[in-house]
Amino acid sequence: MIKLSPRLKAIADLIDENSKVVDIGCDHALLDIFLTQNKNCHCLATDISVSCILKAQDNIKKYDLEKEVKTMITDGLENINYKNYDYIVISGMGFQTIKKILKNKIPNKLIIQSNNNIEKLKYYLFKKYKLVNEKVVLDNNIYYIIMSLEKGKKRYKYDDYIIGLNKDNYEYINYLYNKYIKIYTKLPNKYFLKKINLYRKIKHLKKAITLIKL
């Protein structure tokens, strides 16, 4: 049985058993192998890179799962009949790539983990999606946010963009608080609009920390 990193395991935990999954940018296809072995899923592991697909195929063969895990070389959701799948997973990429992949395409259920710009990503996704679950994972000293989303509309508050569903996670909120204070302190005053935004965030996070400590 394959063992996943805490980040990939958190992604797998958000996927129901017996699902049909497309893993965009599968790289090694470890997630797909895990989902097949442990959750009886059927996966389509895709990547834009030929060498990544060759690596994925080697791994799939190693675990004797060639029948269960299919592979495809493609850019994002191009040529994928994504409406026939239960989940589309896009993980380990940046916000701009994720945005490009989802341009003009609205799959029903998404599992998204961006390596950067979580707030911008939320402003983008929340126009068309409801946040169903959100996990914060510390993996190799890096915090990762993993979101499970379903097509639909919902009203969101400022707090949903800044903190999200993990309002009791003191370590994570404190980490964000310290990160923004550092950025704020180093940022020259000429960037006053950015500083005002950061100040608002810092104040909000401080209030959230106080509430947790009560």
Ligand X SMILES: C[S@@+](CC[C@H](N)C(=O)[O-])C[C@H]1O[C@@H](n2cnc3c(N)ncnc32)[C@H](O)[C@@H]1O
Q: Which residues of this chain interact with ligand X, rule CB under 6 A?
A: 8, 24-27, 46-49, 52, 75-76, 91-93, 97, 101
**Nearer to ligand X among residue 97 and residue 174 (C-beta):** 97
**Nearer to ligand X among residue 113 and residue 169 (C-beta):** 113
Rounded to whole angstroms, the Cα distance separating 73 from 79 reads: 10
Containing 180, the helix (H) or strand (E) segment is helix 170-186
CB 175 within 8 A of CB 137: no
Rounded to whole angstroms, the Cα distance separating 6 from 140 reads: 9
Q: Which two tokens stand for residue 155?
A: 């009203």
Q: Which of 52, 104, 108, 57 is nearest to 78 (CA)?
A: 104
Give me the least distance between CB of 208 and ligand X, in Å please.
28
Give me the least distance between CB of 15 and ligand X, in Å please.
13
Q: Which two tokens stand for residue 122?
A: 């939320």
**Nearer to ligand X among residue 25 and residue 107 (C-beta):** 25
What SS3 class is residue 188? coil
Q: How many residues does the chain have?
A: 214
Give me the least distance between CB of 61 and ligand X, in Å please.
18
**Nearer to ligand X among residue 135 and residue 204 (C-beta):** 135
Give me the least distance between CB of 101 and ligand X, in Å please.
6
**Nearer to ligand X among residue 56 and residue 202 (C-beta):** 56
Which one-letter DSSP state was computed for residue 86? S
CB 56 within 8 A of CB 14: no
Give me the least distance between CB of 43 and ligand X, in Å please.
12
